[in-house]
Amino acid sequence: MELPGMVLGEAVTILVREPVQADPLWVYDRIVAGRYGRPFIIDDGQTRQLFFNLDFIQSSMRVDDPFALDCAYTRKMMAFLLFVPDPGRVLMIGLGGGSLAKFCYRHLPRAHLTVVEVNPDVISMRGAFNIPDDERLTIVQADAADYLAAGEADTDVLLLDGFDARGIAPRFLDRGFYAAARRRLRPGGLLVANFAGPKKYWSRHLGLLHDVFEGRVHMGTVPGGDNHIAFAEAGCALDWDRLEERADALADRFPLDFSALVHSLREGAEFRWAKASRR
């Protein structure tokens, strides 16, 4: 169902998964009041964005370039290529509008991609975000905690970006969840986690990640936003010279500023070291 609407004084189209006999005014009023309870899409003609409520954008797609990474935090998550430049299998937790899945699908043609999404309404909106229907990209409706525990050592890169209307999915806040995530990684694999909002909402997650990965966790902030990206290694310690060399090589293959990504990671590491040395 398409609804005409206004957001911040601008005319938009609101897309919802409702039967044709549903009352559009009732749906619109519930969305504005924050009581709708289902995902919806707002399209202003330039971007198409997924929401669970109007407080937070879950995903954003440029209408003129559906495979581009419109949100800065997704570009930062792609820094995993500095660690694992040619992954064979990428597992993603959280579909959203499929930004990361589409980017990997286009730019990593040899990788098999699996996306785990618990919300069937989100999956049903894949067509609105131009998510390919292809054997290289598998979308699984499942609870992430159950899915991760069902296998071992079959993943090169694991991307955690699972949120509900209130923040990081509650089942993630468990050591067993992060331990299962680590077990899914092959030797040399990498886990990348998106933490959003004030630190008080994700500091316990970060602590569990540090515990499970024995401190091999590197943080990068996203300029101008409220996202923090954690990179947890299942392999050896960080080699900055090697990352700089990879950044130069990757710049020719992908439309991303890898030098800036390395700089951000290095700033985060140096800040952590300086903070620890003052204790």
The reported pLDDT for the residue numbered 198 is: 84
187-242: pLDDT as tens digits: 999 999 999 888 888 999 999 999 999 989 988 877 766 888 999 986 655 677 88
Q: Are 70 and 99 in contact (CB under 8 A)?
A: yes
C-alpha to C-alpha distances, 87 to 73, 84, 165, 190, 257, nearest whole angstrom: 20, 6, 31, 10, 19
DSSP 39: -
Domains and CATH numbers, the chain: 2-62 (no CATH), 72-277 (3.40.50.150)
Tell me how far apart the alpha carbons of residues 129 and 61 are, in angstroms, rounded to a whole number: 7
Please give the Cα distance from 60 to 81 (Å, whole number): 22
Helical residues (DSSP H) of 133-230, grouped into ranges: 144-148, 175-184, 203-212
In this prediction the pTM is 0.90
Q: Which residues are catalytic?
A: 161
**Low pLDDT (below 70) residues in the chain:** 1-9, 224-225, 234-238, 268-279
Tokens of 67: 């495979």
> What mean pLDDT value characterizes the chain?
89
Return the residue matching tokens 């189209």: 13
Q: What is the pLDDT of residue 277?
A: 36
pLDDT for position 7: 61
Instruction: List the one residue out of 105, 111, 161 whose CA is nearest residue 133.
Output: 105
The 10s digit of each residue's pLDDT in 25-47 is: 899 899 999 999 999 999 999 99
**Rounded Cα–Cα distance for residues 271 and 114 (Å):** 34
Query: Which residues are CB-neighbours of 250 under 8 A, at least 6 positions away?
Result: 81, 82, 85, 256, 258
pLDDT of residue 264: 78
